[in-house]
């Protein structure tokens, strides 16, 4: 863990700048997942797979934003407890936050096979990319708990003044995602769902780590 910034003491402008730049870089790397998947899929799987991935991008961004919002909501309460030096409440909140991650994970695993097809139909997904879109989206939604777990951990670190550790984990996760993308697609010859599986595994590994 990096040195924690005590945001309740010191000069506010310098504290904000030291805290903000890792958060800014983290937001950029968070957006790299879909970009990386898009580049690799377009290069090695062709137009059909790229169309399927592009068809799912907005839903993937929606899920990621939703998980990010949950983490930020938890970080508000954790930050308040940390600022008040209420260590007992801080431990309770952290425990509840991670418990919620596992509950949401199981909920999304159950929802994935139920909502993917209606969503794709509602989006008027073309028939020639429907199956590939379904395989990508169903895996992404089923594994969304890893996205929440990672974002929750990042939010907790940031709530206690450590914005660099989540950045380091996010950079690591991005490289894992690239390696798994290439492995699944080039070595195991998966379809577009291999890109979704790579993202899910990368998020889960760094979230648990």
Predicted confidence band at 9 (pLDDT cuts at 50, 70, 90)?
low
Contact 141, 104 (CB under 8 A): no
How confident is the model over 89-128, as pLDDT tens digits? Answer: 999 999 999 999 999 999 999 999 999 999 999 999 999 9
pTM of the model: 0.87
Residue 194 located in a structural domain: yes
Looking at residue 171, what is its pLDDT? 87
Residue 68 located in a structural domain: yes
Residue 11 located in a structural domain: no
Residue 83 located in a structural domain: yes
What is the total count of domains within the chain?
1
Residue 127 located in a structural domain: yes
**Helices and strands (H, E) in the chain, number of each type:** 8, 0
Task: Tell me how far apart the alpha carbons of residues 152 and 122 are, in angstroms, rounded to a whole number.
Answer: 31
Residue 19 located in a structural domain: no
Residue 123 located in a structural domain: yes
Predicted confidence band at 64 (pLDDT cuts at 50, 70, 90)?
confident
Domain that residue 147 falls in: 29-208
Residue 16 located in a structural domain: no
* Backbone φ, ψ for residue 8 (5° rounding): -90, -5
Tokens of 57: 């991008």
């Amino acid at each position: 863990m990096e040195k924690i910034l005590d945001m309740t003491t010191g000069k506010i402008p310098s504290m904000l700048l030291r805290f903000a730049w890792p958060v800014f870089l983290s937001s950029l790397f968070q957006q790299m997942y879909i970009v990386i998947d898009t580049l690799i899929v377009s290069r090695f799987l062709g137009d059909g797979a790229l169309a399927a991935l592009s068809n799912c991008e907005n839903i993937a961004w929606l899920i990621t934003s939703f998980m990010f919002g949950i983490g930020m909501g938890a970080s508000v309460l954790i930050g308040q407890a940390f600022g008040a030096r209420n260590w007992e409440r801080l431990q309770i909140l952290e425990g509840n936050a991670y418990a919620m991650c596992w509950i949401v994970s199981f909920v999304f695993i159950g929802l994935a096979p139920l909502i993917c097809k209606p969503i794709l139909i509602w989006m008027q997904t073309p028939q020639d990319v429907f199956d590939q879109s379904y395989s990508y989206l169903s895996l992404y939604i089923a594994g969304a708990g890893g996205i929440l777990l990672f974002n929750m951990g990042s939010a907790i670190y940031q709530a206690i003044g450590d914005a660099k550790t989540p950045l380091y984990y996010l950079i690591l996760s991005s490289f894992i995602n690239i390696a798994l993308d290439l492995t699944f697609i080039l070595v195991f010859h998966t379809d577009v769902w291999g890109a979704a599986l790579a993202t899910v595994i990368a998020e889960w590994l760094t979230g648990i780590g």
